[in-house]
Amino acid sequence: MKKILAVDDDHDILFTLQAIAEVGNFHMKTLDDGFQALESLKIERYDLVIVDYYMPQMNGMELVESIRGFEPQIPILVLTVDESLDIANQFLEVGATDFATKPIRVADLISRINVHLSRPSSKEPDWLEEQEIPKGMSTMTLRLIVDHLEEAKEPQDIDSISEGTGLAYQTVHRYVSFLDKEGLAEVDLVYGKVGRPIKRFFRS
């Protein structure tokens, strides 16, 4: 059974997460303090960490950055009521893997957890092994998005990639922006009657 550590100062949220763990057949340990979480991670093995954004003493961003100091690979899922890309990018830069929004939607969170517990463990493609990945980005998450683009029959916008991979919109936005910048994905612009064109991404 997969083991998850959940950290939130709101005990109602922790109770909800425990109930979700039972539905999803996960083993979950809950803590309400970031410092306790760091100690627990140093002595126990977990498959995934769930972290709240707003916490006293040590907030979610500080906790994520501290975890990455000694756990570079474990998936970290951030719970937040703030869906802004600015906040998302700050979390991704310190090492967060993905996001889930509050109030918690049970089916959405279970799906998000399963995405990260079943990430591919086989050898990375040569081009990905050779690619220099920015700090805070995960090769496994990048591979998940690239695999989706390669399997898709037509160009994908960010919403479609998010739905197809189970990753949060903010996470997909940062990764496809990186792929675009590095020339690792091609972009098709779709113009509507008003507003900015919609970017759709694909790999040929």
Q: Is the pLDDT of residue 124 over 80?
A: no
Residues 109, 9 share a domain: yes
Out of 11-15, 135-139, 144-148, pick the least confident: 135-139
Residues 131, 112 share a domain: no
Residues 78, 7 share a domain: yes
Q: Is the pLDDT of residue 50 over 90?
A: yes
Residues 160, 112 share a domain: no
Q: What is the pLDDT of residue 119?
A: 67
8: Cβ contacts below 8 Å, ≥ 6 apart: 14, 17, 30, 32, 50, 51, 52, 55, 79
Residues 107, 10 share a domain: yes
Residues 94, 20 share a domain: yes
Residues 105, 175 share a domain: no
Average pLDDT, the chain: 90
Residues 113, 14 share a domain: yes
Residues 87, 12 share a domain: yes
Domain count, the chain: 2
Identify the CATH number of the domain in which residue 71 sits.
3.40.50.2300
Out of 9-13, 76-80, 109-113, 189-193, pick the least confident: 189-193
Residues 174, 156 share a domain: yes
Which single residue is written with the structure tokens 């979700």? 20
Q: Is the pLDDT of residue 154 over 70?
A: yes
Q: Domain boundary at 117, 146, 169, which? A: 117
pTM equals: 0.81
Residues 147, 83 share a domain: no
Residues 9, 110 share a domain: yes
Q: Is the pLDDT of residue 192 over 60?
A: yes
Nearest to 177 by CA among 196, 191, 158: 158
Do 48 and 116 contact (CB within 8 A), yes or no?
yes
pLDDT band at 157 (very low <50, low <70, confident <90, very high): very high
Rounded average pLDDT over 71-89: 88
Spell out the long-range contacts of 177-186 with Cβ–Cβ below 8 A and sequence spacing 24 or more: 178/134, 178/137, 178/142, 179/142, 179/145, 179/146, 182/131, 184/127, 184/131, 184/146, 185/146, 185/149
Q: What is the pLDDT of residue 56?
A: 87
